Amino acid sequence: MSSLACPLCQKETTVRLGQKVYHGLRIATVLCQSCGLVYHDPLVQDADRQKLGLSHRQLHTNENIDRRQERRVQRRVRQQIDFLAELIRSDWRTLEIGSGLGFLSHWLVQKGCQAVGVEPDRQQAHYARQHFGLEVVNCRFEETDFSGKFDFFAASHVIEHFPDPLSFLEKIRSLAAPRALFFLDTPNIMAPKVGPTRLFSLAHNYYFSPQTLQACLARTGWQVEKTRVFRRDSFYVLARADQPRGATPSRAHAQEVGRAIRRHRLFYYLHLLFLLRKIPLWQRLWMYHYRDYRGPLPGVGDLSLAL
């Protein structure tokens, strides 16, 4: 484990949001009061997780790959396809980081793309190869060494796991063809789906708002073109390869993040969200209702700040 200043704004102005012990490992979560980034401090490293004997998949679920898990992932990918359908071109070379069971990359192949996946979990990589004949590299993304450039990247529920989100985004940028597109899906700290006791977990290191992720992207050479924010759960970002620019969310946004977490802790049980989130009709009509934003989001200030 290691301790760090805010990786986004480099300030040491954090306030502790909570502390828990998982399998003997102490996890403390902090909010940066300057920019609104939420993260574990000290960070949870892979070595810490390995000591607990947990595989990548077990960090989220102890289930084997069964029909229930397949259906859950399929539902998620169907929503993503709805967002991406108009954008994909048939001659693209695509890279999915954390390709999992391979549903999204399989759809990209059906659209005519040359799709490559990276998946650290051996069983999931095997599933994607066996079911869809996908090209999957079975290792961590940091260990990969690709030649040539890609036109499209997807990372669904991936960036929050990495020890350093900026170096993750920089590595993807280094593999990007000019004007390449990058699709991200990550839990939204402004509107979490899971309850307060599961909000901060061993699996994740970072908890983004659309604004903090947009700032991380801008700093690493990605210009956000479109953001889709659901009432609950995660948010989508579509970014295009660009020049790196300084960007930090405002202090006011950091306060907003703090308020959102306090509200969630208070109202999750009061509003019976733990029951409502299980009801499919409620999910369709309310939880997954979304708003699309074009271009930069409000709350990301000072785009001229020097890197």
Of the pair 35, 97, the CB lying nearest Zn ion is at: 35
42: preceding bond cis by omega (within 30 degrees): yes
Of the pair 34, 105, the CB lying nearest Zn ion is at: 34
* Pairing verdict, β 290-294 and 248-249: unpaired
**For the purposes of burial, counting CB atoms within 10 Å of the CB of 275, is it exposed (0-12), middle (13-18) or buried (19 or more)?**
exposed
Looking at the chain, the number of H-run helices and the number of E-run strands are 9, 14
Q: What are phi and psi of 180, to 5 degrees?
A: -65, 155
Tell me how far, at minimum, the Cβ of 96 lies from Zn ion, in Å: 29
List of residues contacting Zn ion (CB under 5 A): 6, 8-9, 32, 34-35, 37
Tell me how far, at minimum, the Cβ of 12 lies from Zn ion, in Å: 9
Task: Provide the 8-state DSSP code for 54.
Answer: -
Question: Order of strands, edge to edge, in the sheet holding 176-187?
Answer: 135-137, 114-118, 93-97, 150-156, 176-187, 234-241, 222-230, 290-294
Of the pair 34, 220, the CB lying nearest Zn ion is at: 34
DSSP strand E in the chain: where? 14-22, 25-32, 38-40, 93-97, 114-118, 135-137, 150-156, 176-187, 206-207, 222-230, 234-241, 248-249, 290-294, 300-301
CA pair distance 196, 261, nearest whole angstrom: 9
Tell me how far, at minimum, the Cβ of 260 lies from Zn ion, in Å: 16
Of the pair 8, 217, the CB lying nearest Zn ion is at: 8
Tell me how far, at minimum, the Cβ of 180 lies from Zn ion, in Å: 27
CA pair distance 206, 209, nearest whole angstrom: 10
Of the pair 137, 215, the CB lying nearest Zn ion is at: 215
Of the pair 252, 279, the CB lying nearest Zn ion is at: 252
Q: CB atoms < 10 A from the CB of 25, how many?
A: 14
CA pair distance 169, 48, nearest whole angstrom: 23
Residues 6+ apart with CB under 8 A from 105: 94, 96, 99, 115, 116, 117, 128, 132, 134, 136, 154
Tell me how far, at minimum, the Cβ of 178 lies from Zn ion, in Å: 31
Tell me how far, at minimum, the Cβ of 7 lies from Zn ion, in Å: 8
Of the pair 8, 190, the CB lying nearest Zn ion is at: 8
Of the pair 169, 241, the CB lying nearest Zn ion is at: 169
